[in-house]
Structure 1
Amino acid sequence: MVDLRSLSLKQLRAFAATMRTGSVTQAAQALFVTPPAISTHLKSLEKIAGHAIYQKNAEGPEATEIGQELLEAANEIEKVIERTRVKIEALAAGASGSVSLGVVSTGKYFAPGIVARFRQFHPDIRVRLAIGNRTEIIKGLEHREFDLLIMGRPPAHVAVEREVLGDHPHILVAAPDHPLVGDPDILPEDLLRETFLAREDGSGTRALMTRFLDRVGGGRTFNFVEMGTNETIKQAVMAGLGI
């Protein structure tokens, strides 16, 4: 059995250069080493292979079948090394690698567009997009699972750099035939009689809604039905279940 564990890149390069240039002397010049060093690498490589790797003829050295296999291996290794070099340089320049984006549920309607635009300019960067409620996304940030976040209010207890993407208005939504639709003078009492459709505890939208109703209602209780997704809430609003 041939044991290639002691095979070295220097040996393969010496052999490839000898076959490419046609002589040990020229191979040494190409690799900036001495001819004896090339000869030593060739002998070591031949010993590892256990068979002759090239033969001499009038036109110069010619690789044997075993030598051809070694040349192919050397060529593939050089390709891998070159790809690795390019990737390392790209990573160092910020043009490659991966980025993890955490987005709160309400941002999922425009986040894919942002990712698509980003990919146009950085096609070699892998993107992982995670959607969750505010608590889940902040927890992921605390555990360093995300590089970037899209959310309504950045967490105060985590040191982050923040950039405003745009306005994030919140409005009341009701079915078209709801009695409050079109009423310009809605009173707090009118709202507190309604059933509110709320996201689960931990959602930023849920927290905002609760603060709003506590403020307009002066701490009075209000009715709500909890739902896990924005899509379910939209369907419930259309069905007249609440606002």
Structure 2
Amino acid sequence: MNLSLRQLRIFETVARRLSYTRAAEELHLSQPAVSMQVRQLEEEVGMPLFERLGRTVALTEAGHELYHYSRSINQSLKDLEEVIAAVKGLDHGRLSVAVASTVKYFAPRLLALFQRRYPGIALELDITNREQLVRLLEANNVDLVLMGQPPDGVDLESEVFLDNPLVVVAPPDHPLARLDRVPSVALADQVFLMREPGSGTRKALERYFEEQGLALRAGMQMTRNEAIKQAVRSGLGLSVVSAHTIELELETKRLVVLDVEGFPLSRHWYLVYRRGKRLSPAARAFRDLVLSEARSLADLAGVTVLERYRASP
């Protein structure tokens, strides 16, 4: 068989994501280009590698076998790149970082600082939800991950790099915004806009209501913080979000933080990677930068800025 490394890389991405669209986005290619490469690979193999089940894509038996070997080949090539990069030092190299959707508001500050210090390193950034981050870690398909609570069941190294306070937000004209101190029982009558199941923010909110002995009135479920903030502004309900995600909304007074009993909820952001993973020089440099510089870069976020914009009585 005359298989190209490009075809194997594209196939491995489609097989991992089980979506031509998401694979094209990750690879920065058009969907037709991805489909064409997979089709050519199938012609070379002489067997279909994917089958469509309604709107979903699944691997065939041959696809499963090729996925196993393509992952091994692509990982070996990545290891080779890291060895070559180590020989060259930090003047060249590649770094892939995946971040949780809540971290995307802060991660650009870290990446911008890293790029200024190491302009020769090519950066790849993937912003996605917790479920996909876990898959990336399980498959060891990313150098470093910035996320909330690391998942159980995956052999990982994790280090706290920043506090991540969670707060209750409301539109400025909400009745509770006039209170100097909102008792927890007052939240029982409020509808809360929710993140998707498995979200760390959602788990923290559900745990808070359980500890307070209150029933949580769950409203619309959304997977993106921007959608949740817009829905809160429109009066569809309250929500709990990371303080780092609402800096602009607080400055422009589009949202207010309610002074709720027991809030902000204390959580953390972690730098995560597979245990035993050999970090490239670029990955080690980024890890060191995150652990040493994150707190100073966060001086405009967190509890201190919240005190300045706390809802007035």
Q: Into which bin does the TM-score normalised by the smaller protein fall? A: 0.5 to 0.7
Give the unaligned 5+ runs of structure 2. 1-81, 239-313
User: Structure 2 vs 1, CA of residues 152 and 123 (structure 1 numbering), >3 Å: closer, same or farther?
Assistant: same
The answer as to 2:200 corresponding to 1:204 is yes
Larger Rg: 1
User: Structure 2 vs 1, CA of residues 221 and 238 (structure 1 numbering), >3 Å: closer, same or farther?
Assistant: closer
What is the match of residue 220 of structure 2?
225
What pairs up with 1:94-173 in 2 under 5 angstroms?
94-95=89-90, 96-173=92-169
Conservation of the 8 A alpha-carbon contact between 2:97 and 2:126: yes
Cα distance in 1 between the residues matched to 2:89 and 2:200? 32
Cα distance in 2 between the residues matched to 1:196 and 1:123? 43
Aligned residues: 156
Conservation of the 8 A alpha-carbon contact between 2:176 and 2:182: yes
How far residue 184 of structure 1 moved from its aligned partner, in angstroms, is 3.8
Conservation of the 8 A alpha-carbon contact between 1:101 and 1:130: yes
How far residue 94 of structure 1 moved from its aligned partner, in angstroms, is 4.5
- Per-residue CA deviation, residues 1-23 of structure 1 (Å, 9 max, x unaligned), is xxxxxxxxxxxxxxxxxxxxxxx
User: Structure 2 vs 1, CA of residues 175 and 158 (structure 1 numbering), >3 Å: closer, same or farther?
Assistant: same
What is the match of residue 92 of structure 1?
87
Cα distance in 2 between the residues matched to 1:100 and 1:182? 45
What is the match of residue 52 of structure 2?
none
Instruction: Tell me the amino acid that sits aligned with residue 230 of structure 1.
Output: N
Conservation of the 8 A alpha-carbon contact between 1:192 and 1:217: no
Cα distance in 2 between the residues matched to 1:89 and 1:104? 30
What is the match of residue 188 of structure 2?
192
How far residue 160 of structure 1 moved from its aligned partner, in angstroms, is 2.6
Higher share in strand: 2
Conservation of the 8 A alpha-carbon contact between 2:194 and 2:218: no
Instruction: Tell me the amino acid that sits aligned with residue 241 of structure 1.
Output: L
Cα distance in 2 between the residues matched to 1:183 and 1:174? 12
How far residue 217 of structure 1 moved from its aligned partner, in angstroms, is 3.0
Question: Does the residue aligned with 1:173 lie in a helix, a strand or coil?
Answer: strand
Conservation of the 8 A alpha-carbon contact between 1:101 and 1:149: yes
How far residue 93 of structure 1 moved from its aligned partner, in angstroms, is 5.5
Question: Does the residue aligned with 2:126 lie in a helix, a strand or coil?
Answer: strand
**TM-score, reference length from structure 1:** 0.58
User: Structure 2 vs 1, CA of residues 152 and 94 (structure 1 numbering), >3 Å: closer, same or farther?
Assistant: farther
Question: Does the residue aligned with 1:201 lie in a helix, a strand or coil?
Answer: coil
Percent identical: 41
Cα distance in 2 between the residues matched to 1:152 and 1:169? 11
How far residue 221 of structure 1 moved from its aligned partner, in angstroms, is 4.4
Structure of higher RCO (CA pairs closer than 8 Å, 6+ residues apart) = 2
How far residue 112 of structure 1 moved from its aligned partner, in angstroms, is 1.5
How far residue 231 of structure 1 moved from its aligned partner, in angstroms, is 0.7
How far residue 134 of structure 1 moved from its aligned partner, in angstroms, is 1.5
Instruction: Tell me the amino acid that sits aligned with residue 236 of structure 1.
Output: A
What is the match of residue 173 of structure 2?
177
Cα distance in 1 between the residues matched to 2:165 and 2:83? 43
The answer as to 2:233 corresponding to 1:242 is no
Question: Does the residue aligned with 2:236 lie in a helix, a strand or coil?
Answer: coil
